Amino acid sequence: MNNKIEIIIVDDHPMVIEGLKSLLSNYDILSVTHTFTRGKDAYEYLSAHAGGVVLMDINLPDINGIELCDKLCSVNPVIKILGMSTHNDASIIKQMVHKGARGYLIKNASAEELYAAIENVYKGSTYFSAEVQGILAESSLKNIPRLTRREKEILSLIASGETTQQIADKLYLSPLTVETHRRNLMQKFGVSNAPALIKMAIDHKLL
Question: Which range touches a second copy (CB under 8 A), out of 10-18, 118-126, 146-154, 169-177?
Answer: 10-18
Position 18 contacts a second copy (CB under 8 A): yes
Position 202 contacts a second copy (CB under 8 A): yes
Longest Cα pair distance anywhere in the chain, in angstroms? Answer: 68
DSSP string, 16-68: HHHHHHHHHTT-TTEEEEEEESSHHHHHHHHTT--SSEEEEESB-SSSBHHHH
Calpha distance 183→102 (Å, rounded): 39
Q: Which helix (H) or strand (E) holds 200?
A: helix 194-203
C-beta of 176: minimal distance to DNA in Å?
A: 4
Nearer to DNA, 75 or 196 (CB): 196
Site of interaction with DNA (CB under 7 A): 146, 148-151, 163-165, 171, 173-174, 176-177, 179-183, 186, 192-195
Position 140 contacts a second copy (CB under 8 A): no
Q: How far apart are the first and last CA of the chain?
A: 48
Nearer to a second copy, 57 or 102 (CB): 57
171, amino acid identity: L
Say which DSSP state 144 is in.
Answer: P
Position 77 contacts a second copy (CB under 8 A): no
Name the residues that contact a second copy, by CB under 8 A: 12-23, 37, 59, 61, 86, 107-111, 114, 158-161, 163, 191-199, 202, 207
